[in-house]
Amino acid sequence: MGTEIERKFLVVNDLWRKEASAGTHYLQGYFTTNDTCSIRVRIAGDSADLNIKSATLGIFRAEYNYPIPVKDAKEMIQDLCIHPLIEKIRYFVPHNKNIWEVDVFSGENDGLVVAEIELDSVEQSFTKPDWVGKEVSDDPRYYNVCLVEHPYKDW
């Protein structure tokens, strides 16, 4: 089984930009959501994938990811996905032997900036950078799938 162990935090300032990668545009849409899983298609730069993720709240979830042609992903996003879509720029930021992912949202979620760190185990320790604030891993409002139904602009 595929798994994801990820912790999510609010970003409190722009100091992360000093060490950040150039950033990649992400466009993703969800086909469906229910009590057990979400199914999404994502275009990240010049690649695309289909993703199935358990609807479990918290830092540990089942996750399956499959590469697909970008052309197919564009058609799926246009014709099959729930709107609004999720639009963001993802930056990778190294910090103390870990890589943080900082997502700067646009569109319906403009103004939201979150940082995520993927871990090898639930117990894995890590050091938070100074630009990382409150943890929101257990707050479903910050899950991308929830941002479709309840965009940040409406909070």
Mean model confidence pLDDT for the chain: 94
Rounded Cα distance between 24 and 30, Å, is 19
Domains of the chain: 3-154 (2.40.320.10)
pTM exceeds 0.95: no
- Tell me whether residue 26 is one of the annotated catalytic residues: no
Rounded Cα distance between 147 and 154, Å, is 10
Cis peptide before 94 (omega within 30 of 0): no
Q: Give the pLDDT confidence of 11-65 residue by residue, as tens digits.
A: 999 999 999 999 999 999 999 777 888 899 999 999 999 999 888 777 778 899 9
Which of the following is catalytic: 30, 91, 142, 143? 30
